[in-house]
Structure 1
């Protein structure tokens, strides 16, 4: 800790995003306001300096949280930060329950697992990170910031994702864990949030174009009109679910998105990665299906005159007939969209895989600036 020009103590806090993908966006937004939050929540007499940096693009998986903390500690020493906090999108566990955060007073570092925070990740790190920094300064203090931060139990009360604290309180090695059931649900939803399904949706643009082409061709075939009239709701639902399932499976197989356990990736972590990938692709393809469905209804209304449809079905028609027609055509067109997905850029589709992180571009790490 240094002393500033005005005699105020200065404490440098490093924020590290690993991998520098989604966590980097959270770190970037948190950096702009963390100094004010620390002054408000920890000590207003300290001049807080916040530094932003990147961690490994492919962080070590096999070592779990200890490997992350060791890497972060070396980064803290090299950068001459007083304390450091790592934000990661790795889903970590301890005692077979999700690990939300971990502090190590000996190394003067802390870690936050963004997926364990659920959907409201940025709002939660605004609360959790100042508490963790205060905890570190309290546990590792050398008369620096007297009683900085509250007791660990106060953090539990302020952060809904944290259920209890485990570890050696006297040694400053504390783990903040979630509940077994709700914590797992929050972890899975947080993984989907961290995987940015919106990016996956934009990445499947050629798939949607291919599906629209298939739907446009099917609209001109009166056999499809009669099939839509003959099939009931349960069978159309089954066709829709089979089409979406086939599309997700095709994307995973064709673009090798399935994570396999190996020396660096434990089986449990690989299962979580695959679950995150499946849910992200399912959400993206479901939204694509809704867009396709709406576009098909509009095209059917413009291209198929009511009298022509009545002549083919040999009965009066109404809006429900157009909806049924769009339903079966959209379901069949999703299979045609799978062909279009083979034309997607490989990196664009692979971005939907939870364990895949491309080399970052457009941003610079502080240490390289």
Structure 2
């Protein structure tokens, strides 16, 4: 069904993506690629420059694609990137789908402002120009595709009609992620994979682990530690907490497979794909309701779904798994079966196909 993909990434970054005909990929890397590499020259800390660069990036790719549309088509654009191209598609008797991978942008801005303030930091906030552009896109789009019930509810709460929303949950790459080993029965290992930041609720996970009484526990943290967390870690008890930084993706299946439990208490996310990766490797998940977890697994069956900002409840769930290895084993088996039943990413593809056909058929 695909006619073309336009991306700001260079082609070599897409060499591992199988099944996409290379002649359908058109790159425009002149703004986005240097933006992604800005950390190499140390300017990622110049917030005003990063903000301006990101804004220009979104505008340039949007207008570039708009210039390429001259016939009826369905444009699917990541939110914040499709205002001009979406209008051009509709002007050519086509359709515009705004694909939003996170919560409604106003909810996202508000909850992050609250969270930063709780820990004594000032959140710069989402660029007001980006908020304005995205909300115009929400209004202009024929459909808004979203990955989870949590995200859907944030849009409804902001006044977006439910009829405009198409929920299509993400999947997991079963060819990359599957069980390759067993956890050490003499050790209770809690695993974190992803950015170590306030948005993902890292400090709540750390406090839950600190409060866990276990003679042989570990907290393995994989991902880049953001500056706010580095400040908050000063003076913390980090005994048995191991920060590994970034590791090659090829090592992740073993990390998931040998962990006792995976934890992700995000304040807001569309549908954290690391959950599907963990489940595919037979690792039970403790996730917040704001991580999109309800669209991946059932509470108490493949893991536990918990409220945000509640380390005490997370500690209780850790205790349950640590004290009852049989429960952990049942959840591990259920996790693998759950992800297999989704068919990897096939369910996502079928969901998008149905959305596209319903759109052109006027349903």
Q: TM bucket by the smaller chain?
A: under 0.3
* Higher relative contact order (Cα pairs below 8 Å, separated by 6+ residues): 1
Structure index of larger Rg: 1
